[in-house]
Amino acid sequence: MDIIAQGRVTEIICVGFGRGDLFLEGICEAVRKQHIVHGAVISGMGTFDTCRMHFTTNPGLPPHDEFIELHGALELVSVQGLIVNGKPHLHMAVGDLKRTWAGHLEEGCRVLYLAEVAIARLEDMPLVRVENEYGIKELHHA
């Protein structure tokens, strides 16, 4: 475990989504429009009718990811992660009445009714992601 960087939160940006909006694509658009270099998604919830994610299925190296696409009425109960150099790396938990899934948020998640996200802008945070020999993009001090 390493303390990679320290900085400060300078503002909170709230983003709202309506029916049919694409979730990750909308977060990326908000990051661009608000000129967020580094940030943290600190809160997120909503509903999806299409959800795309991936998760790891192998405890060894190199990692193996499985991609799934879900359809139907799904509750987004949590989304969080970091934005480093304008690129979000977000994880989420979604569920229906029978099952809950958790994994890495992918493009193509479509909002069913609404969704909301709060992003904390991080300043004075020298961060970068560096890909290691296994293709894992690790967080490092810039």
Q: What is the CATH number of the domain that holds 92?
A: 3.30.1330.80
Q: Is residue 2 assigned to a domain?
A: no
How many independent structural domains does the chain possess?
1
Tell me the three state secondary structure of residue 23: helix
Q: pTM above the 0.85 mark?
A: yes
* Closest by CA position to 90, among listed 64, 51, 126, 125: 51
Question: pLDDT tens per residue, the chain (142 residues)?
Answer: 888 889 999 999 999 999 999 999 999 999 999 999 999 999 999 999 999 999 999 999 989 999 999 999 999 999 999 999 999 999 999 999 999 999 999 999 999 999 999 999 999 999 999 999 998 999 999 9
| pLDDT value, residue 124 | 93
Which structural domain range is residue 59 located in? Answer: 8-141
